[in-house]
Structure 1
Amino acid sequence: MISSNFSLLMSVYKNDNPGFLRMALNSVYNQSICPKEIILVQDGPIPLSLSKVINDFAFKNRNIISLIFPVNHGLGYALRKGSQYVSTEWLARMDADDINLPNRFELQINYLKKHPETVLLGGQICEFKNDYCKILSRRLVPVDSKQISEFIKWRNPFNHVTVMIKVKAIREAGNYQNIGGFEDYDLWNRMIVRGYAFHNLPDDLVLVRVGDGMYERRGGIKYFQRYIKLKSNSKKLGIINRKEKIISDTIMMFNIIIPKKMRAFLYNRILRH
C-alpha cells in the first residue's frame, strides 16, 4: 500500500448500512495507492453500529478525520463542509456503500501526472444489487472534454463516486450547493463555464450498489422542482438555451409521472449498458 497526496471525502448518515460501509472502507485501504487522509462526515446522529465501523477503522488507521454534525443537513452541505478540511491538492469521492476496484486511484493518479492541466477526472461504473460479482449494468460517460461539454446539456457527464477533483477548482466554482440529488451535476456546470479541463477514463473504477430506492428517488414533484432549479441555473450560465431547457424539462416531467417499474425499465434499457 502506497500513500499519495490526495484526500478521500465521504458522507455517512443514519440509514447507511454498517456492513456496506465496512466494505467501502476496506476497498479504500486495499488500493494499490491510498489517500493521505479520509474526511468522513457524519451527517447527523448515526446508530452505534455505524459508529463502531468508523471507530474500528479510525483506531487502526490514523488518517481518518471525522466531522460530526448534530443534525442532518444533506449531502451538498456535508460535502461542502467536508471539503473545507481537505489539506491536499486533490479530493476523491465515493459513497458509503460503494466498492472501489483495487487500482482505481493508481489509474487516476497516473493519468493526472501525465495531464497536469486536468482539474476533474472521473471514470466508468458497474452497478450491482446484492452480489458485487453479478454486474447488472454499466453507466458509461464520455471521455474527452468536447464530448463532455455536449453531454452535460442533457445528462450528468460524470459518475460522481469516481471523480478526483482539484480542491482549488471546487472552491473557485463555489463548492457544492444544496440541490438534493443534483449536488454534483450543479457543481460540474459551474466548473465547466470556467474553462477547466475535464476527462473521464474509459476504465471501470467503482462498483456501485443499486436498488429499488434509486428509482423511487428519481421521481416525484420535489425531484422535479430540484431538476427545474438545476436546469434554470444551466440556462443562466449559458450551458443550455431556452429550447434545450424546454426539451429537458419535458423529458423529466414524463420521467416523474410514470410508474416506478416503468422508470426502472427505461433506465436499464436506455440509460445503461
Structure 2
Amino acid sequence: MLISVIIPMYNSETTITSCINSVLNQTYVGEVEIIVVNDGSKDNSQAIVEGIIQDNKTKVLIELFNKINEGVSTARNIGIKMAKGDWIALLDSDDVWLPNKLERQIQVLTENPKIDFLGTNRNGEYFDNILWKKLNILTRISPKLLMVKFIFVVPTVIFRKKIISDVGYFDETQKYAEEGNYFIRIAQKYNCFLLNESLVITGDGKAHFGHSGLSGNLKEMEKGELKNLKDALRLKIINSIEYSCLVVFSILKYFRRIIIVKIR
C-alpha cells in the first residue's frame, strides 16, 4: 500500500526539516512517497528541501515541485494530482507527525475496510463528546457534525485517492476554512471517521486560533465558515432551518473566539 504525503510549503525554512523528518521517522513499514509543493517561497525553503532529497538515505521517495505563489489550496491540489498512492495523507509544513501516526491509522483502516477517510486528534486532545454526539475511540463523523465543530484538521487526515474522481479538489478560490469546505463535501458521500487519539502536533502545540498564519485571521476564518454553510445549503446537506441555526451558532463561536484571544 503506497501512501502519498502531500506537503504544501511557503517560507517554511525554520520548520520544513522537522516536518519532513517526522514522515521519514514513521514506524510504518509500508511504502511512502513525499511530495513537497513549494508555493513560491522567498526564503531558503527550496534549498533546504533539495538538501534533504540529496542526503536522503531512506526508501521514501521525496519529490519537490516548485511553482509561483497561488495559495495553499492550489499547492495541495497539485500535490494530489502528482500522487501515485492509493491513499493521500495531508501534512502542513509547520506541523509534525508523532512516529506512530501512519502505522496506527493503517492498522485502523485495515481492520475497518469500509472507512474512506480517517482523521485523528492533535496536540494531546481527546473528545468525550461534541454537543449531543458521544465520541468513542472510533466514531463516524457526519457532514452536519463538521459544521458544528471543525473536527478534522488537515495534518491528521488520510483518505482514499479514489475520492478525488467523485468529490474533486480543494476550492482554489477560498483562502480561509477551505479544508472545512472540502471535508464537508467528502463526508456527504463517503465514510469519514475520527480516531480519537492525538497523533499530530500542529503549530508547535500552540492554540488552534488567534495566532499568526492563515488560522490567525479570525474575521476571514468566520467568512470562510459562513461560506461553507451556504455551500452546504446549496448541496442540500442541510435545510434552510438548519442553515439559519448553524449561522447563528457560528457567529456566537466567532465572538467567543475574539473574547478568548483578548483574554489570552
> Under TM normalisation by the shorter chain, which class is it?
0.7 to 0.9
| Pick aligned residue for 2:245 from 244, 247, 250 | 247
Is 1:173 aligned with 2:171?
A: no
| Pick aligned residue for 2:117 from 117, 120, 127 | 120
Q: Give the equivalent residue in structure 2 for 1:51.
A: 46
Cα distance in 2 for residues equivalent to 1:239 and 1:265: 35
Cα distance in 1 for residues equivalent to 2:240 and 2:111: 39
Q: Give the equivalent residue in structure 2 for 1:217.
A: 216
3-state SS of the aligned residue for 1:177?
coil
Q: Give the equivalent residue in structure 2 for 1:207.
A: 201
3-state SS of the aligned residue for 2:179?
helix
Aligned residue pairs, count: 246
User: Does structure 2 conserve the Cα–Cα contact (< 8 Å) formed by 1:193 and 1:237?
Assistant: no
CA RMSD in angstroms, aligned pairs only = 2.6
User: Does structure 2 conserve the Cα–Cα contact (< 8 Å) formed by 1:8 and 1:91?
Assistant: yes
Is 1:41 aligned with 2:37?
A: yes
Q: Give the equivalent residue in structure 1 for 2:227.
A: 229
User: Does structure 2 conserve the Cα–Cα contact (< 8 Å) formed by 1:121 and 1:200?
Assistant: yes
Q: Give the equivalent residue in structure 1 for 2:100.
A: 103
Cα distance in 1 for residues equivalent to 2:98 and 2:244: 39
Deviations 1:150-204 (A, max 9, x none): 422312231221111111102310111122222221112222222x112111221
Cα distance in 2 for residues equivalent to 1:68 and 1:241: 42
Cα distance in 1 for residues equivalent to 2:262 and 2:246: 20
Cα distance in 2 for residues equivalent to 1:225 and 1:124: 25
Deviations 1:109-135 (A, max 9, x none): 111112222110111111xxxxxxxxx
| Pick aligned residue for 1:32 from 27, 32, 46 | 27
Which contiguous aligned blocks of 4+ residues in structure 1 show a shift greater than 6 angstroms? none
3-state SS of the aligned residue for 2:148?
coil
Identical pairs, percent = 21
- Shift in Å, 1:74: 1.1
Which range is displaced more, 185-194 or 102-111? Answer: 185-194
- In the alignment, structure 1 segments of 5+ residues that lack a partner are 127-136, 269-273
- Shift in Å, 1:32: 0.6
Q: Give the equivalent residue in structure 1 for 2:65.
A: 67
3-state SS of the aligned residue for 2:14?
helix
3-state SS of the aligned residue for 1:64?
strand
Cα distance in 1 for residues equivalent to 2:262 and 2:214: 10
Residue identity matched to 1:98: D
Normalised TM-score (structure 2): 0.83
Residue identity matched to 2:169: N
- In the alignment, structure 2 segments of 5+ residues that lack a partner are none
Normalised TM-score (structure 1): 0.80
Which range is displaced more, 103-112 or 57-66? Answer: 57-66
Cα distance in 2 for residues equivalent to 1:215 and 1:7: 24
Cα distance in 2 for residues equivalent to 1:55 and 1:68: 11
Residue identity matched to 2:100: N
| Pick aligned residue for 1:21 from 2, 16, 21 | 16
Cα distance in 1 for residues equivalent to 2:193 and 2:257: 35
Which range is displaced more, 211-220 or 110-119? Answer: 211-220
Cα distance in 1 for residues equivalent to 2:55 and 2:14: 17
Q: 1:139 to 1:217 in 2, by over 3 A?
A: farther
User: Does structure 2 conserve the Cα–Cα contact (< 8 Å) formed by 1:215 and 1:263?
Assistant: no
Residue identity matched to 1:24: C
